[in-house]
Structure 1
Amino acid sequence: MQDASDWVVRFGELIPPGADVLDLACGGGRHARWLAGRDLNVLAADRDAAALAALDGQPRIRTLCADLEGGDWPWGEACFDAVVVTRYLFRPRLDRVAALLKPGGLLIYETFMDGNARFGKPSNPDFLLRPHELLDWVRGWGSVIAFEQGEIARPAPAMIQRICAVRSDVLPVLN
């Protein structure tokens, strides 16, 4: 199993212990495991039941097998202190991903962008971000902590876009 992404490790340190985190389209769970190891409560969601089964019994990790692209969206709004998404893009539901964050919630997102076809898959434009796409999306609802895009060399050569942002479009509820 691959190690957690350097981007997730770098900004995952900002998530306070005990926080509720969604690892969206988690695949084999490399980030769910790393996050749970930091005393975070992780919901690992993916459509691949076999991949999720590998997380059964892991402390602080719950799993949800769901089709994230079709059918009913499995969550309401403002459910999580943080959302982590890597190597996944489904534009029709991007706004729903942002809505999952509680006020002040942290988004850590990293996936492939235009130009990745020269390195292999994904090469379909439906799965590749356009230049500055994450940055433009976040500006509608959040404050950017960090943003990068371009070619990376490791763990394998790829064209990547990544952002870390805080949800700031809503005021916190005062008791």
Structure 2
Amino acid sequence: MPHADLPPSPWITRFEALLQSRAPDGGPRRALDLACGHGRHVRWLVARGWHVTAVDRDTAALASLADLGAALRPLAADLEGAPWPLAQERFDAVVVTNYLWRPLLPHIVQAVAPGGVLLYETFAQGNETVGKPSRPDFLLAPGELLRACAELRVIAYEDGFLSRPDRFVQRIAAVREAPAANAAPPRYPL
């Protein structure tokens, strides 16, 4: 199946209620889909009322999202060879799937606004035994994603093997706590 036709990752859709609970009062909900490719998650988020900044180096892939209109902010950027393009921006949701460039991990975490959520899923060590990617540069070490998100509150984390297709992944759902308005603990719908 061509990548553009793939459905959203079950890891991302699993946390739809968490995403909806992160919406700010008033104003548009702002999401970042980093290394979005052909935008399967961009389309899923826009269909749920989000305004999405879609970042990728592939301008043709970004152009394929033009039908999303005002809900889309496409940004063509070389994430690995240029400065971080979103230094002063924060998002209510940050989504990253099947992408790893370690120097960006601190920027990705910082892009999560107070009260915002990070959903991240990518390949982990062990994947070299079942396919690509197989280079260590593109495979997370055990617990690496968890450590990268240490300043966030982790809601869910997995590190292991998935089948169909066979792959080793790490994935995390984490939130940046908003300043407390009262003493009641926050509720995180799963």
SS in 2 for 1:58: helix
Q: What percentage of residue pairs aligned between the two structures are identical? A: 50
Q: CA deviation at 1:78?
A: 4.7
Instruction: Specify the alignment match of 2:185 in structure 1.
Output: none
Instruction: Specify the alignment match of 1:65 in structure 2.
Output: 76
What is the TM-score of this pair, normalised by structure 1?
Answer: 0.91
Instruction: Specify the alignment match of 1:75 in structure 2.
Output: 86
In the alignment, structure 1 segments of 5+ residues that lack a partner are none
SS in 2 for 1:15: helix
Aligned residues: 170
2:49 is aligned, of 5, 14, 39, to 39
Matched, 1:56 2:66: yes
Q: CA deviation at 1:160?
A: 0.7
SS in 1 for 2:15: helix
Query: Partner letter of residue 27 of structure 1?
Result: G
Distance 2:83 2:179 in 1: 27
Distance 2:83 2:173 in 1: 27
Matched, 1:86 2:97: yes
Q: Is the 8 A contact 1:15 1:106 kept in 2?
A: yes
RMSD (Å) for aligned C-alpha atoms: 1.7
Q: CA deviation at 1:12?
A: 3.3
Moved more, 52-61 or 82-91: 52-61
Query: Runs of at least 4 residues of structure 1 off by over 6 A?
Result: none
What is the TM-score of this pair, normalised by structure 2?
Answer: 0.84
Q: CA deviation at 1:159?
A: 0.3
Matched, 1:117 2:128: yes
Matched, 1:128 2:128: no
Q: CA deviation at 1:58?
A: 1.3
Radius of gyration: which is bigger?
2
Query: Partner letter of residue 131 of structure 1?
Result: P
Q: Is the 8 A contact 1:78 1:103 kept in 2?
A: no
In the alignment, structure 2 segments of 5+ residues that lack a partner are 181-190
